[in-house]
Amino acid sequence: MKLFAKTLLISLAALAVIGGIGWVVISNIVRPPEIPVIIAANTFPGEALLPDHCKPDGDSDAVSTDDDLSSPQLIRFEERRPSFFTFLIFGLTEGLNANTIMVGAFDAEARQGYIISIPRDTMVDVQRNSRKIVSAYPVGRLGGRGHAGGVEQMGYEVSTLIGFRPDFYISVDYEAFIRMIDAVGGIEIYVPFHMVYDDPYQNLHINLPQGLQILDGQNALYFARYRRGNYGGPSQTISDYQRIEHQQQVLAAVLRKLLTPASILQIPEFVGIFNDHVDSDLAMGELLWFANQARNIGGLDALHLYTLPMLGTSGAPHWYELADQEGILELVNRTINPLIRDIAAEDLRIAH
């Protein structure tokens, strides 16, 4: 979004609040996004999916690229469900790993929203040393391909698990996470046990007492990131599935705050956070349209959170999470499938 458009949006938001007409005015100036042609994951002939400037320019000992990354078939627009939008959502660490990966969908006609978390250790059908989906984003950045390459690789690998490529993407860094929660005055979270972890190499120091409490942005990030305590300490280790549950609790708590009337006053601040720390192919006005829709559908009562079904782990040495094809088809077709037909087994590319 150009500087003029950003300034205009912020100014209109401020004038709306001052004039007492708030969200009504804002909702009249935002528009839903156009649904792009999406991509199926079931055909893999020929050309690389990444644009030329994003293609690999050499091998890496750490992570090798997937030579089979290719252009899947296009799905005709008439195969789409009307007013149904899908999203790839991922959170980036300081080391540019996408440790949080989700696929969201919003059905504007049924007024329902869905989010499916994908375990970071899910095995994907690619040719490289690490076949975990968490490696997709850094592999996409390999060789100077940058953020665009990371997004393309992540979208492709997610499509092999769910049978289609999400329409839009949203990537969020740690600073956006912290600032957004601080902007809404913190979130209420029940911490199930005393979380203690110290890692001086990452300058990471977690110390969250057990119990119901209001977490600021930094402590909410610690809660969402926590996986294991210090060896020999009073804390404990949790599974990646439990960490996903914690991330979903944080997401629900943030959305609960954002859906309150008081959040209108923070719209200019939210615009600043978005511009500085969120990357997306959705414009701010389009994101505000989705926010307005969430208000109209009654908020969290219409939001459904899931985790992509798994069969279990491969065990040592890689500890891959093995995707459950049958379970995925049932869940995807019940929730985030944007097509008028069911996603079928041949649309997936599950690693074995």
DSSP readout, 323-344? Answer: E-HHHHHHHHHHTT--BSS---
Is there a domain that residue 43 lies in? yes
Is there a domain that residue 241 lies in? no
Q: Which domain holds residue 143?
A: 3-170+266-347
Distance CA(84)–CA(55), nearest Å, equals: 31
Q: What is the pLDDT of residue 324?
A: 97
Is there a domain that residue 230 lies in? no
Q: In the structure, what pLDDT confidence band is assigned to residue 77 with cuts at 50, 70 and 90?
A: low
Q: Which of 161, 67, 65 is nearest to 120 (CA)?
A: 161
End-to-end CA distance of the chain: 42
Q: What is the pLDDT of residue 18?
A: 39
Is residue 191 scored above 60 in pLDDT?
A: yes
* Percent share of the chain, pLDDT over 90: 45
Is residue 166 scored above 90 in pLDDT?
A: yes
Q: What is the pLDDT of residue 31?
A: 80
Is there a domain that residue 196 lies in? no
Q: How many residues does the chain have?
A: 352
User: 């087994």: which residue's tokens?
Assistant: 345
Is residue 71 scored above 50 in pLDDT?
A: no
Mean pLDDT, range 285-298, rounded to an integer = 76
CATH number at residue 61: 3.30.420.590
Is there a domain that residue 165 lies in? yes
Q: What is the pLDDT of residue 74?
A: 56
Q: What is the pLDDT of residue 5?
A: 47
Instruction: Kindly list the distances between the CA atom of residue 313 and the CA atoms of 60, 104, 239, in Å, as whole numbers in the listed order.
Output: 26, 25, 12
- Encode pLDDT of 294-341 as tens digits: 766 656 678 899 999 999 999 889 999 999 999 999 999 999 999 999
Q: Within a 10 A sphere around the Cβ of 110, how many other Cβ atoms?
A: 12
Is there a domain that residue 293 lies in? yes
Q: In the structure, what pLDDT confidence band is assigned to residue 56 with cuts at 50, 70 and 90?
A: very low
Count how many domains the chain has. Answer: 1
Is there a domain that residue 58 lies in? yes
Q: In the structure, what pLDDT confidence band is assigned to residue 143 with cuts at 50, 70 and 90?
A: low
Is residue 157 scored above 50 in pLDDT?
A: yes
CB of 240 closer than 8 Å to CB of 297: no
User: Taking the model in full, what pTM does it have?
Assistant: 0.81
- Encode pLDDT of 90-138 as tens digits: 998 766 778 899 999 999 999 899 999 999 999 999 988 889 999 999 9
Q: What is the pLDDT of residue 66?
A: 45
Is residue 163 scored above 90 in pLDDT?
A: yes
Is residue 45 scored above 60 in pLDDT?
A: no
Is there a domain that residue 250 lies in? no
- Encode pLDDT of 216-238 as tens digits: 999 999 999 898 877 555 568 88
User: What are the DSSP calls for 58-71, one per residue?
Assistant: S--SS----TT---
Q: What is the pLDDT of residue 260?
A: 77
Question: Which residue has better confidence, 167 or 270?
Answer: 167
Q: What is the pLDDT of residue 43?
A: 43
Residue-averaged pLDDT of the chain: 80
